[in-house]
């Protein structure tokens, strides 16, 4: 019988390491488990910072490989183990690109061959369903160590697992893991080394020992599921068996069922969902305002300080009016981006996000999508790049392509600074909640436009597939605020670091273009009119005039194709927002926009022209990274090119229709 491990102790064995090296080739241990089972968290505990993400050969799917962290080793001379974090899978009979990569990676990896050992990761709260993959791994001939995560959730409900029984019934070592605190990770690695030692000492050739399974029939799957359900019930025990424990457990389960009856109700559940979304997107606007004012005042003071230090210096003018002004125009919106990330993480960690997917499954099915498309689409409100990567879990190629099509139309965080500036212009003297309602309307409208695009393209996409939607509902839990804030901080930091270089580079270009060749002129407006930017802008101005712009907005729109946020920084540089020291940078930019005149002498920024800009930014695909990822994830250059050209042309045409239509109705 193999050993099992729990809470730092080996049951029926010891954690002694093999006395001899385990072969001369790389020792590869694969982590395999269903999505959302805690596998990636376990991988991070095992490897720390000693990991990297790589692309699996011949596919668009990424996976992670890393070395065990030295702090987990018993001694400085102990050999590292290569850990491979495979994509989540519900079965070894692959139905999606992610599942296919997992199957190939453990059976016939082009570099490692068959995995030396597999750590099967299962969620203690969904033990019966997750053990199906474990059974398949054992049946395929792999040496397996079972890692059971989410133990803390069981203990919150006064339950635990009898790992001795579980280990005896499966014939594999079992380790309980607490992903939040990392307990059990050292014991897991010890159990893995024991198994690797057995393989080495027994002269087992794992490559010839494993065999790919034939697809299981429905009858076989049902038989195995009945077995693991009975096993799951047997190994789950009540803690201490105190009087009243059973009643407490019944109460806890009853409370969960009661919540789900409301939150998953076809009518009330959808109403609550829409209310939560509206609250989230509205709070992005009004809740962040005090923090935005602080950032704006701080950077505005810094720009004034630099300019006062050497007012005649060309370098000081560049730093103040170019670098700081453009950076400020984006950094001032970082609080809003942070709040967006906090909201999404709270929905995810509380367990509500998965339930949202079940709520929208039926509405999405009317578009040819499914519940699995919900998480990628919601992620698109943060950034289209990881959202497209998240679409890999969708089994159906048709649904996956339609989801990839729709994601760029979700209003990502890069659009947020643009929308916030334009809405601040429209609601400059009004209550903050009006801007919040308008921003919510933009997010809803982006969803409607995406739905229209999916319906239209879906009629021409000749891929006929039968699909089904299955998603595990995690238990409700109270998110840990410290972890939520930490994750939101790192995601926001990643956004700033990603956008920063592009902002600086284009700020430099725009500042040079608006300052030279006549930089010596004291009249800044005359200097701007005779600049390189004015010459180029006047050449392209006829293109942007129908949508209510001139050469200045044209320069901003062209710059935005490198990064949408650059549109705001370009306007900040073009309108020289540091001229007025009595106002903050944001207020100065808004004042400049109110005073700006078109070539015909009429106001440049009006209700019609600003709405036209909003429509253009809602639809246009101005992100090179998204275009590149679309090629990879769709596996089709033609699809990505049609998406790029189609959205940009549609954005321009609809913006022109909005502007000219409103002007025809007498709306300036």
Rounded CA separation 177/8 (Å): 10
| φ, ψ (nearest 5 deg) of residue 181 | -105, -15
In the three-class reduction of DSSP (H, G, I as helix; E, B as strand; rest coil), residue 279 is classed as: helix
Q: What are the boundaries of each domain within the chain?
A: 4-238, 274-664
State pLDDT tens for residues 309-360.
Answer: 877 777 887 787 777 776 776 677 678 778 877 887 787 777 777 677 677 7
Can you read off the two tokens belonging to residue 405?
């099509």
Can you read off the two tokens belonging to residue 649?
């042309």
How far is C-alpha 616 from the chain's CA centre? Answer: 24
Rounded CA separation 665/658 (Å): 11
Q: Are strands 117-123 and 28-33 parallel, antiparallel or unpaired?
A: parallel
Task: Determine the pLDDT at residue 245.
Answer: 41
State pLDDT tens for residues 166-178.
Answer: 888 888 999 988 7
* Peptide bond preceding 447 in cis form (omega within 30 of 0): no
Strand ranges, E, within 456-569: none
Question: Which residues, in sequence order, are bridge partners of residue 113?
Answer: 109
Rounded CA separation 586/291 (Å): 13
10 Å Cβ neighbour count for 89? 25
In the three-class reduction of DSSP (H, G, I as helix; E, B as strand; rest coil), residue 291 is classed as: helix
CA-CA distances (angstroms) from residue 640 to 25, 408, 621, 635?
41, 11, 11, 9
Task: Determine the pLDDT at residue 24.
Answer: 37
Closest listed residue to residue 548, CA positions, set 589, 595, 608: 608
State pLDDT tens for residues 470-521.
Answer: 555 666 677 778 778 877 887 777 767 766 676 667 667 777 777 788 777 7
Task: Determine the pLDDT at residue 562.
Answer: 61
Task: Determine the pLDDT at residue 525.
Answer: 64
DSSP conformation letters of 534-554: HHHHHHHHHHHGGGT--HHHH
Sequence-ordered list of residues with C-beta below 8 angstroms from that of 372, at least 6 positions apart, any chain: 357, 393, 394, 395, 399, 469, 471
**Global pTM value:** 0.58
State pLDDT tens for residues 136-183.
Answer: 899 888 889 999 988 777 776 667 788 888 888 888 999 988 766 678
CA-CA distances (angstroms) from residue 156 to 150, 253, 476, 478, 519?
10, 12, 11, 11, 68
Token pair 């000492």 is at which residue?
201
Look at phi and psi of residue 178 and say left if phi exceeds 0, alpha if psi is from -120 to 50, else beta. beta
Task: Determine the pLDDT at residue 480.
Answer: 74
Rounded CA separation 435/286 (Å): 8
Task: Determine the pLDDT at residue 174.
Answer: 92
Can you read off the two tokens belonging to residue 663?
């002007």
- The residue ranges of the chain whose pLDDT is under 50 are 1-24, 241-249, 252, 579-582
CATH number of 4-238: 3.40.50.300
Rounded CA separation 598/604 (Å): 5
């Amino acid at each position: 019988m193999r050993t099992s491990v729990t809470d730092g102790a080996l049951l029926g064995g010891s954690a002694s390491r093999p006395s001899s090296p385990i072969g001369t080739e790389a020792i590869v241990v694969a982590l395999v488990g269903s999505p959302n089972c805690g596998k990636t968290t376990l991988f991070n505990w095992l490897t720390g910072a000693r990991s990297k993400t790589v692309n699996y050969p011949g596919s668009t799917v990424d996976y992670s490989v890393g070395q065990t962290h030295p702090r987990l080793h018993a001694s400085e001379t102990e050999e590292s183990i290569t850990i491979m974090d495979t994509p989540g899978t519900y079965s070894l009979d692959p139905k999606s690109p992610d599942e296919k990569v997992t199957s190939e990676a453990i059976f016939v990896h082009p570099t490692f061959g068959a995995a030396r050992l597999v750590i099967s990761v299962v969620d203690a709260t969904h033990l019966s369903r997750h053990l199906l993959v474990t059974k398949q791994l054992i049946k395929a001939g792999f040496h397996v160590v079972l890692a059971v995560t989410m133990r803390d959730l069981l203990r919150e409900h006064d339950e635990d697992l009898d790992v001795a029984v579980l280990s005896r019934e499966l014939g594999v070592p079992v380790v309980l893991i607490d992903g939040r605190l990392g307990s059990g990770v050292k014991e897991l690695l010890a159990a893995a080394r024991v198994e690797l030692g057995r393989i080495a000492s027994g002269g087992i050739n794992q490559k010839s020992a494993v065999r790919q399974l034939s697809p299981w029939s429905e009858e076989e799957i049902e038989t195995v599921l009945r077995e693991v359900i009975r096993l799951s019930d047997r190994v789950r025990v009540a803690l201490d068996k105190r009087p009243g424990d059973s009643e407490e457990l019944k109460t806890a389960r009853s409370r969960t069922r009661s919540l789900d009856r409301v939150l998953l109700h076809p009518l009330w559940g959808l109403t609550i969902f829409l209310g939560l979304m509206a609250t989230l997107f509205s709070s992005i606007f009004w809740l962040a305002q005090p923090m935005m004012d602080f950032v704006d005042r701080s950077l505005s003071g810094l720009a004034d300080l630099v300019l006062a230090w050497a007012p005649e210096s060309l370098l000081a003018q560049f730093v103040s009016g170019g670098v700081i002004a453009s950076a400020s125009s984006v950094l001032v919106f970082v609080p809003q981006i942070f709040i967006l990330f906090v909201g999404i993480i709270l929905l995810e960690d509380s367990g509500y996000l998965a339930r949202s997917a079940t709520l929208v499954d039926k509405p999405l099915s009317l578009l040819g999508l499914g519940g699995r498309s919900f998480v990628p689409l919601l992620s698109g409100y943060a950034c289209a790049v990881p959202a497209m990567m998240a679409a890999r879990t969708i089994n159906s190629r048709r649904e996956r392509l339609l989801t990839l099509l729709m994601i760029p139309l979700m209003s990502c965080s890069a659009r947020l600074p643009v929308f916030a500036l334009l809405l601040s212009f429209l609601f400059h003297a009004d209550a903050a909640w009006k801007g919040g309602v308008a921003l919510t309307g933009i997010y809803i409208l982006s969803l409607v436009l995406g739905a229209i695009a999916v319906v239209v393209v879906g009629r021409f996409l000749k891929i006929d597939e039968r699909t089904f939607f299955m998603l595990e509902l995690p238990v409700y839990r109270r998110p840990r605020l410290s972890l939520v804030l930490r994750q939101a901080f790192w995601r926001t930091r990643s956004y700033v670091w990603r956008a920063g270089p592009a902002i600086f580079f284009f700020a430099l270009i725009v500042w040079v273009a608006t300052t030279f060749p006549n930089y010596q002129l004291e009249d800044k407006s005359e200097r701007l009119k005779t600049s390189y930017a004015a010459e180029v802008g006047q050449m392209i101005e006829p293109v942007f005039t129908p949508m209510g712009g001139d050469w200045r907005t044209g320069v901003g729109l062209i710059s935005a194709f490198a990064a949408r946020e650059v549109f705001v920084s370009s306007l900040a540089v073009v309108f020289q927002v540091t001229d007025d020291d009595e106002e903050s940078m944001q207020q100065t930019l808004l004042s400049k926009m109110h005073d700006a005149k078109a070539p015909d002498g009429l106001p440049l920024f009006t209700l019609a022209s600003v709405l036209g800009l909003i429509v253009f930014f809602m639809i246009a695909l101005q992100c090179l990274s998204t275009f590149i990822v679309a090629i990879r994830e769709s596996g089709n250059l033609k699809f990505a090119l049609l998406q790029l050209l189609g959205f940009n042309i549609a954005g321009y045409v609809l913006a022109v229709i909005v502007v000219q239509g409103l002007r025809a109705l007498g709306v300036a």
